[in-house]
Chains A and B, each alone.
Chain A
């Protein structure tokens, strides 16, 4: 075009037009919820055993079919469940007169293709209604990423403390440099308990190391246990449903909470989608997880969000996969954890789909650090968005899990976290944290504001700590010895949770007094207006009082 229309010229420069979009391309699996190659729902059972699943006879089952058929599907209710018309069941999901218990009893009698057939009939608002009604825990919550470019331990501790203080109930750290993992885990463990006792922490690394840190009490839960919807991708991920189910039991055997991770788009990204829709493959992951007896799942595309984000109805598929997880009566940590768009409008719209109905963890997680420090490749929202988020909670009277805080309080908890970690490092013979570092991380926006550390020295020291069998009790002892007995008590309390195992139940988090809140003692009882979780009373008073609001007395 020789002469451009000026409005089009402006539009072409808008952030949304920097995003990638692609038309549906079934052959490679670039289709959100409805591929012509998705199987038709169906099941055949002989002598209590599934002999045909979605039109495929048992002798042709791949590993995932076998696992779902033998470990997930309840053959006693399958006939009844599969006979329910898909539209009818979809309506039950949004019908306030049909109790949640009835719905989750039937869902385990259904096949993956049947669940897709149900979900693809629901629009966004219906899916949100289903989420509101079906999520396992009554009280919604939120998880954060705590990470930085330099793996600076004092900064991790300060950020963990601030994050916990602001209301995140789970904190996840990854690593820039792999060998830093135990030091990062230790740093956020100490920091979290200063921000708010009872906040759960994890360190996302390779399966075996992640398990080791859990066994040593350096982490309280695990999440980076990936599962996939096609056998080839699963095997390329170096696992099978059997190895992953064993791993799940291994965590529980050490009293450590865990959930699996999956998401739409991963099979496309890894090149083996078998021409199936992303949602169909993801439902296989959800059912596989259910069959393994794992209490929850992190999904919502996660690190592959660019893939469903590029196709029509892709973001709807992402909500549908979250709904599939709660439909299977599991905890859902519902994504919103990776940058996928240049458009702030699109970014927030995608988040509202989980924020409005509430999920077990609306984000998994929100970046409790600036995005340049986020080693998970950036989240949808970060520290610079805190106030926007608080205002959204206030605008809609919705509990998104965060609370307004004062600058003085945040400075205090950040400083205390850095000082406590300084003492722990000294006691555990780790390279010293200087007073200059403590001061810097207290007031820092991010790692750009803190001094560099001697990385090889840090790595040598943390290797040595692991070699000599260092564990959570060493941290408790170090804190107590140096005058941080309140923090020592909280870390010890966290370790004690692994003795009682209460937080191995579905959707467990802790309150400030370490009383567990899970789908068992805080079950979602939503059945329409006047029921379920309501933001009211003291909590609403707290969330509506953002410091920026002018009070009538001051006018």
Chain B
């Protein structure tokens, strides 16, 4: 199961990254993903234990200063390429200053390495949501509010998150909500 999950994650990352990918880069990504497989949300490593191969809070943070090589915007620009001149000349769009899912994964690793697995889990849900347009994100939020959705609507939403956006962690959250809302009578009648 871990393998299946991992290859899916790698695929996602490759898709999001666009065209040019060296074999080295893929090996790198696989290594990072492997690292994230260890230690789920229940893990409380306290102190400074860092998952093998993942980023280290003490060495790699802040990314902008210590690991700018890892940071790109959603459109693939490096931080140093996001300049005032480009903005003024109209050569930058808002997509050029959006966060990339890989960056959220790196920040999740930093959070884990600093002993904050729950924050890491939140950042990994966030990485999935980068693939969903603003309007749809707002609609999903509204659908999760009390009395807005039937159980089936929530289950369909979870299905959409998985199939359309490859957002399996968020889908699990929505399925969990469907169960709990049913038990507590918070579904739309």
Contact = CB atoms under 8 A, between A and B. Distances in A.
B37 interface: no
Contacts of B92: 473
B145 interface: yes
Interface residues of B, number: 68
Interface string A505-518: 11000000011101
Contact of B103 (A74, A242, A250, A500): A500
B145 A243 contact: yes
B94 A101 contact: no
Interface string B86-107: 0110101110011110011011
Contact of A292 (B47, B122, B129): B122
Contact of A71 (B41, B73, B82, B132): B41
Given A252-B122, A253-B128, 10 more contacts: A66-B180, A101-B115, A207-B141, A240-B144, A476-B84, A481-B88, A496-B64, A505-B114, A521-B61, A523-B114
A26 interface: no
Nearest to A207: B141
A489 interface: yes
B173 A72 contact: no
25 contacts: A63-B186, A75-B42, A104-B115, A105-B46, A215-B134, A231-B184, A235-B146, A235-B186, A240-B146, A253-B125, A254-B130, A293-B41, A293-B123, A295-B119, A480-B88, A481-B88, A492-B87, A499-B97, A500-B62, A504-B123, A505-B110, A505-B111, A516-B62, A519-B114, A520-B61
Nearest to B94: A471
A485 B179 CA distance: 53
A279 interface: no
A329 interface: yes
Interface in B43-66: 43-44, 46-47, 57, 61-65
A476 B87 contact: yes
Interface in A52-76: 62-63, 66, 70-72, 74-76
A291 to B, nearest CB: 6
Contacts of B130: 253-254
B114 A520 contact: yes
A523 B97 CA distance: 29
Given A293-B119, A473-B97, A480 B84 contact: yes
A171 interface: no
Contacts of A252: 104, 122-123, 125-126, 129
A496 B82 contact: yes
A154 interface: no
B10 interface: no
Contacts of A292: 118, 122
B137 interface: yes
A105 B84 contact: no
Contacts of B181: 240, 242
A459 to B, nearest CB: 22
Contacts of A105: 44, 46-47, 115
A506 B87 contact: no
A290 B42 CA distance: 12
A528 interface: no
A94 B141 CA distance: 41
A252 B128 CA distance: 10
B126 A253 contact: yes
Contact of B44 (A76, A239, A291): A76
Contacts of B93: 473
B104 to A, nearest CB: 6
A208 B134 CA distance: 11
Contacts of A489: 84
A238 B145 CA distance: 6
A104 B45 CA distance: 10
A253 B146 contact: no
B98 A485 contact: no
A248 interface: yes
B170 interface: yes
B155 interface: no
Which of A66, A249, A492 is packed against the most chain B CB atoms within 10 Å?
A249
Contacts of A109: 44
A3 interface: no
Contacts of B144: 240, 242-243, 246
